[in-house]
Structures are given as structure tokens and as C-alpha cells.
Amino acid sequence: MGMQEMETVTCLLTGVSHFTSELGRTILIILSFIRFGILAVGSQTLWKDEEMDFSCNSTQLLCQPSCFDEYCPISSFNLFSLQLVVLFTLSLSLICYMPSKYKNREGSLLGHLQGRNQLKLHILHLLSRILIESIFIVTFFKVSPGLLQSGVAQCHSVQCEAFVICVDLKEEAKQMFSIGFCAASAVSGFICLGELLSSLRSIYKAKKTSHTKQPYSKQLC
């Protein structure tokens, strides 16, 4: 019972099934803790009140909020949090639809068929995870002002005067945290891609082996 619970927790943290290699699952667990750490520390320091850390040389009341929405339409913290929610939802669906590897240990036909269905589900979840990681990385670069920027931007809002300049006072620290989170997402995606190719290679070898053995079985009959 304890082993099954440990497998469930591992599957929840990694988002992959027991078909994944031990090294791959270990790295994915470490990456999950890194991402949790980035959000936990950033929520209390960098992203606690982003609008207060955004300063503009304007006296208009609505200028600074409108410039902040123009500069940062989606907060990096909200985007990264949404990414983790989607990944954990995918992990929960994997736990619900993929039985434990400790079940159906007997080499029966039913267990063999269930194993094949689990492998197909494993491949589908790897594809989904790669797609999710890629979509959120691309979305971040689309909506963010860009990495390695100074945090200074000119505001073009109609609520402001002409030539209003705004500065994000914590932009450099945010960039470091964002780079770390994006790097963790990219590494996670590459690990899932490697596991996907390994699974497809195993399926191809199994089919090739079955095709080579089939003529001999017919001769024996």
C-alpha cells in the first residue's frame, strides 16, 4: 500500500507514468520542486505587488495602471501558476486512468492487454506534456517585454501625457526568476521528448520481434 501511494505522489509530481525511466522521473521531480520554489519565493518578494514596483513620470491618476497593463498584459506569476495547474490536472488524469504497476502482475492475457493500453496512454500523456510546456514558453515570450531588458519602456496610453517613461524597479530579479522557470520547463519538455522517443523505439522493436517470430509459429502449427 505504501509503494502504491509513493507511486501516486511520484506520478503527481512528474506527470509521467511508471514506464518512464528512473533517471527521467528523478529529474522531473527535482524540476517540479524548483518551479514550486520559484513561485513560492517570487510570490512574497517580486510579484507581491507588481503595480507598486512600476513607476512612471506622470501626474495623471490613471496613467500608471494603464501603462502597467500595456507593459505587462499578463503577469509572469499568473502565467507560471496557470502552467502548473494545467500540468497537475494532466497528472491527475494520468493517475485516474492509468492503474498502478503493482496491479495485474500476473502474466495473463488481460494483464498484457492492459499493459499495452497503459503504454499508449503513457505516450499520449508525454505528447500532451510536451505540448503544454511548449505553449507556455512561447506564450511567455509573446506577452513579456523580453528577457535581458532594462525594464524601461515608453508608455503610449491615451490616459497619459506625451513621452511618458515607465520603469519596472524589480525587472532584473524578475528576469532571473523567469529564466529559471522557463529553463525548468524546457528541460522538462526535452526529458519528455526523450522518453517519448524511447517508448516509440521500444514499441517498434517489439513489433519487429513479433513479426520475425510469426512465420516460425505458423510452421510449428
Provide the CB-side half-sphere exposure for 92 (13 A, CA). Answer: 6
71-85, 110-124, 148-162: segment of lowest average pLDDT: 110-124
Domain count, the chain: 1
Q: What is the pLDDT of residue 218?
A: 43
pTM of the full structure: 0.80
54's torsion region: left (phi>0), alpha (psi -120 to 50) or beta? beta
List the end-to-end C-alpha distance of the chain, in Å, as a whole number: 44
136-140, 148-152, 187-191, 211-215: segment of lowest average pLDDT: 211-215
Identify whether 151 is part of a domain: no
Identify whether 159 is part of a domain: no
Identify whether 202 is part of a domain: yes
Identify whether 196 is part of a domain: yes
Identify whether 171 is part of a domain: no
pLDDT at 109 over 50: no
Identify whether 34 is part of a domain: yes
Q: Cα–Cα–Cα angle for 35, 38, 43, nearest 5°?
A: 125
Identify whether 160 is part of a domain: no
Domain that holds residue 133: 2-50+75-144+181-220
Per DSSP (E only), the strands in the chain are 54-56, 152-155, 164-168
pLDDT at 12 over 60: yes
Q: What is the pLDDT of residue 191?
A: 94
Identify whether 40 is part of a domain: yes
31-35, 107-111, 155-159, 183-187: segment of lowest average pLDDT: 107-111
Q: What is the pLDDT of residue 221?
A: 30
Beta carbons within 8 Å of 20's beta carbon, 6+ residues apart: 14, 28, 122, 195
